[in-house]
Structure 1
Amino acid sequence: MSVPVSAIPSSSPSKGRSDVAKRRSAEYHKSVWGDYFLEYASPLDLMKFKFLGRVEEQVEELKGEVRKILTGVVDKPSQMLHLIDQIQRLGIDYHFEREIDQQLEKIHKNYSQFDHGDFKGDDLHKVALRFRLLRQQCFNISSEVFNKFKDSDGNFKKSLITDVRGLLSLYEACHLRCHGDVILEEALPFAITHLESIDEMKVSTSLAKQVSHAQEQPLRKGLPRLQARHYISLYQEEPSHDKILLTLAKLDFNLLQEQHQKEIGKITKIVELFLWISGAYFEPEFAVARNILTKVIALTSILDDIYDVYGTLEELVSYTEAIEKWDVDAMDGLPEYMQAHYKELLDLYDEIGNELAMKGRSYRLAYAKGAMKKQARGFFHEAKWFHTGYTPTLEEYMPLALLTTCYEALSITALVGMGDVVTRDAFEWLLGDCKILRASQIICRFMDDISSHQFEQKRGHIASSVELLMKEKGISEKEANEELQKRVVDAWKDINEEFLRPTEVPMPILMRILNLSRVIDVLYTNGDHYTHSKTKVKEHITSLFVSPLPI
């Protein structure tokens, strides 16, 4: 991982030593936000408290109205699919998970009938929307339904070229493809090519903006809250928008923003990390889980910096041993900067242990500690390669490189603060041969390496997958990046396959790994926006945690 949290201390690094080791520095820029969010840590004043109470009452009333519509009878299944799509895009679907699942279950049950009646003919938008929503809901439906849109020569029909909404729906559906979905492999470049050449004068402003945004961030790979913020502004421009849905979406967004602001107020120095973790789970019910995982990723980020940049090999040997012992007495003899980090680490896991004990979930602490110990061992192995000047083969590099993404530790720790849907079996599943976790790690590793390997080589770092592939195959950096990007695409197919029913674990657990993968796509597409967080990440934080939606 490339992390902007510096472990470089302001005081002398080694207690009782006169010689000062030569230290490297990643030269990360200072936090963009400083103490900005501290104001939200204060208790709400009475007027604000009363106002939020009235808003919450209004939200509950609107939710009731939407629930009636969702559970009612519609003339055509396509109308229900359109409603569900709007609810999901507006970011309010987490309030109606049961109702949406029931409706999609009903639509899937009658799936074979839908090539007649409401779905008869060549309405690409309807067919692609149905396919995407059902695949999103884990139904294993065939992509062969798109064969009807090919001509006698096996090419997609020319009449589709001017169907912008249909092409956009097809494009979004293609991102749910699995291995073997050959027709979707053909459909994606077809959709991309013709979406890039649309005449914006012949489509609505809202649709043109949706196309532009989708090309930058497809729904499957985007963070739900960022997608909702963007779509709300477009939805209100549509003359046919539903006022109930729009009002609920705006009020709910602002209420959730208020909660997130208060959470950030308590950890104000690590706002970018909160963005990362709120990407994994944003819902109010996961406040405790967010708090745990944000603090853990903060200390993991500093630990990464210690091993990756600052510590000497001798110090890293001692620190790895201390973390393995997990005992306050192991602090003796460590440099001061390591002692400070080690104390915070032990204190945090004590805090987590107390939280878990109150809810009868103490067994989870062992998994969390085990993940951190394994992470430290991985960091040390990588540091040893660097300090001894060892260059591994790509095959040798990969197991360690996947571990040092931190995504195994984050995925395990993400479950620690969740509710009863998480069992001991879920942790054992993650620790086994977990296909979806490996796919998420691959996405993280290769997208990170592609976007940040040049920056890391300047400060001093072991060779990344990019350099190793260039060396082993004798290819250019561009060619290496393209090959690694293909592996990222295949990893997304693995993730999509793991969501098909019957799933090995409940959906809320799978969603954590999907969402952590989405964070990587948002932060590392076309650059390392996380390390260099003054542009895109600043915009994301502003839209999610600073600027409320006008009602």
Structure 2
Amino acid sequence: MEIFNKFTDEREKFKESIAKDEVGLLSLYEASHLRTKGENILDEALAFTTTHLQAMAMDSNCPFSEEAKYALKWPIYKAVPRFMARQNTSLHHNNPLKTNNVLLTFAKLDYNSLQKLYHKELVLNVYRWWKDHKLKELLPFARIRVVEIYVWASGVRYEPKYCNTRRTLAKIITFISVIDDMYDVYATLDELQLFTDAIQRWDVSCIEKLPNYMKGLYETIIEVYEEIEQDICKDNNTPFAFDYAKEALKSLCKAYLMEATWFNQGYIPTMEEYMKVSITSAAYYVITSISFLTLGNNVASKQVYEWAQTDPILLRSTGVIGRILNDMASHKFEQERGHVASAVECYMKEYGVSEEEAIIELEKEVGTAWKDVTEDYTKSSLKFPNVILECVLNVARLSDFFYKEVDGYTFADAEIKHFIDLMLTHPVPI
């Protein structure tokens, strides 16, 4: 951190002269997001640069006002890579004097090429699979979010060579979404106990005990996981990888059942109780387990799964980020509809504070979790491939994207819809 000392004065405050260097200010702001616990100078750098970038963003005469607006909302470290790529091409296209035109053209071609691939995967694989399995007809109560589901999948691994990861993740995230809705708003507690038990047994013969509307879902889940297992065997992977992914789904259903039980009992847990269950119910362990699985054992070795089973800080902190952001964005709607208490309600009850005070404290917890993600990512990169760790980091980024201000999965606002359209529909003008 000594490198940052040259930007401070004798009072150890950042020099006001830095604010005159727009590019330097933006760079310092972006660097400050890679802070970890105890790096006070980066905390101060973030506060200092945020104040000045807010002024830049409001100054229509500033040539970097657009960059400042975007950076304040989507800092590079927390941004979903493909959305960042599109934003950067647009910014540089509109500022030709600051741009290497050859590199810009290559960036545009790359973006448009991937967009065609994504559109093909979405229409020919994900949407067709959804229609062929008649999930909409089988489960009319469930949210139909095929596009958003694909965006989640592509956000975890966006590169062309990971098409199998995206296709597989899209199917599994579909199950997560449908199961979540079933536990939240449709099934009785007795029915949910039957479904949870069936998932724990993982045996198609359990289907006879399930209500009719659950049978098709259960059968499809078993079928898709068997397809995944066959692909693993074809690639000479080892059983522990599939077992880990299967156990993650079992744990998810048990967490959903616990939350449904709390709701039926009218029970508001302590924050410790709630987070222990709700980090699992955020479903990120399922998403990361499947993403690891599809990478093959040359990348996701046995050591990777042994690490993941210890619930490392990187995974757990990603779950904290996703859970709290989701809760802050959706808790009002969910409480009106009828839902287990969120982190907001749990915090309010336990500490006797207002909603506004609870949200301020929960935002601090999200900030701390991002510091933990950064620190553990750095340490873990000495042991495991970046492609593994990036899967987890990208899940945290997706949470920031979808839940920064609203529940962008359930109620995609205009900005999120715009980003999705840019990603899947509108090519970059060459």
Alpha-carbon distance in 1 for matches of 2:355, 2:407: 17
Residue in structure 2 matched with residue 247 of structure 1 by the alignment: 105
Give the percent of matched residue pairs that are identical in Structure 1 and Structure 2: 40
Residue in structure 1 matched with residue 310 of structure 2 by the alignment: 432
Question: How much does 1:423 deviate?
Answer: 0.8
Deviations, residues 271-323 of structure 1 (Å, cap 9, x unaligned): 11010111111001111111111100101111111112111011111111111
Structure scoring higher RCO (CA < 8 A, sep ≥ 6) equals 1
Alpha-carbon distance in 2 for matches of 1:330, 1:402: 28
Residue in structure 1 matched with residue 411 of structure 2 by the alignment: 532
Tell me if the contact between 1:272 and 1:537 (Cα under 8 Å) persists in the aligned partners.
no
Question: How much does 1:375 deviate?
Answer: 1.1
Aligned residue runs from structure 1 range 322-337, under 5 A: 322-337=198-213
Aligned residue runs from structure 1 range 429-508, under 5 A: 429-501=307-379, 503-508=382-387
Task: Please give the secondary structure, in 1, of the residue aligned with 2:406.
Answer: coil
Tell me if the contact between 2:300 and 2:388 (Cα under 8 Å) persists in the aligned partners.
yes
Residue in structure 1 matched with residue 285 of structure 2 by the alignment: 408
Aligned residue runs from structure 1 range 138-537, under 5 A: 143-198=1-56, 200=59, 202-204=61-63, 207-236=64-93, 237-265=95-123, 266-268=125-127, 270-363=146-239, 364-419=241-296, 420-501=298-379, 503-533=382-412, 535-537=414-416
Moved more, 524-533 or 438-447: 524-533
Aligned residue runs from structure 1 range 26-65, under 5 A: none
Provide TM-score, normalisation by structure 1.
Answer: 0.72
Alpha-carbon distance in 2 for matches of 1:318, 1:201: 60
Distance 1:240 1:538, change over 3 A: closer
Task: Please give the secondary structure, in 2, of the residue aligned with 1:261.
Answer: helix
Deviations, residues 347-374 of structure 1 (Å, cap 9, x unaligned): 1111111211211125222222111111
Alpha-carbon distance in 2 for matches of 1:333, 1:305: 21
Task: Please give the secondary structure, in 1, of the residue aligned with 2:371.
Answer: helix
Question: How much does 1:202 deviate?
Answer: 4.9
Tell me if the contact between 1:149 and 1:157 (Cα under 8 Å) persists in the aligned partners.
yes
Alpha-carbon distance in 2 for matches of 1:156, 1:368: 48
Question: How much does 1:534 deviate?
Answer: 5.0
Alpha-carbon distance in 2 for matches of 1:543, 1:402: 31
RMSD: 1.5
Tell me if the contact between 1:529 and 1:536 (Cα under 8 Å) persists in the aligned partners.
no
Question: How much does 1:431 deviate?
Answer: 1.2
Tell me if the contact between 1:439 and 1:495 (Cα under 8 Å) persists in the aligned partners.
yes
Distance 1:392 1:200, change over 3 A: closer
Alpha-carbon distance in 2 for matches of 1:182, 1:144: 12
Amino acid aligned to 1:230: Q
Max Rg structure = 1
Question: How much does 1:418 deviate?
Answer: 0.8
Amino acid aligned to 2:117: Q
Distance 1:240 1:386, change over 3 A: closer
Provide TM-score, normalisation by structure 2.
Answer: 0.92
Deviations, residues 95-138 of structure 1 (Å, cap 9, x unaligned): xxxxxxxxxxxxxxxxxxxxxxxxxxxxxxxxxxxxxxxxxxxx
Tell me if the contact between 1:530 and 1:537 (Cα under 8 Å) persists in the aligned partners.
no
Question: How much does 1:390 deviate?
Answer: 2.4
Distance 1:197 1:313, change over 3 A: same
Gaps of 5+ in 2: 131-145
